[in-house]
Amino acid sequence: MPRSDLSRTQRLATRLLPWWADAMEAESREWRTSCPCGHEFSVWDAGGVRFKASGTTTTVLRCPSCGQTSSMTVARRA
């Protein structure tokens, strides 16, 4: 992915740990959430990084489809 398409968090993480950049992106794409509107998206698509993590978490995210901000559960889906 071109560096200009990355969020500030993603640029920082991939710059500090370039040897894990591909693995970070791949694993972050496995962590998914879904909006009440029905749109499902990954943590990486939302501009975040979730790497070497376990369990599920709840966080406030903005849906890239409808723009609604709400509390969503993030779970790993391989």
Helix (H) or strand (E) holding 66: none
Domain total of the chain: 1
Query: What's the CA gap between 33 and 42, in Å, rounded?
Result: 6
Q: Please write the tens of the pLDDT for every residue from 18-30.
A: 999 999 999 999 9
Beta-strand ranges (E) seen in the chain are 31-34, 40-42, 57-62, 69-76
| Cβ count within 10 A of residue 47 | 16
On the question of pLDDT at 3 being above 70, the answer is no
- Scanning the structure block, which residue is given the tokens 């993030």? 74
pLDDT at 30: 96
pLDDT at 2: 57
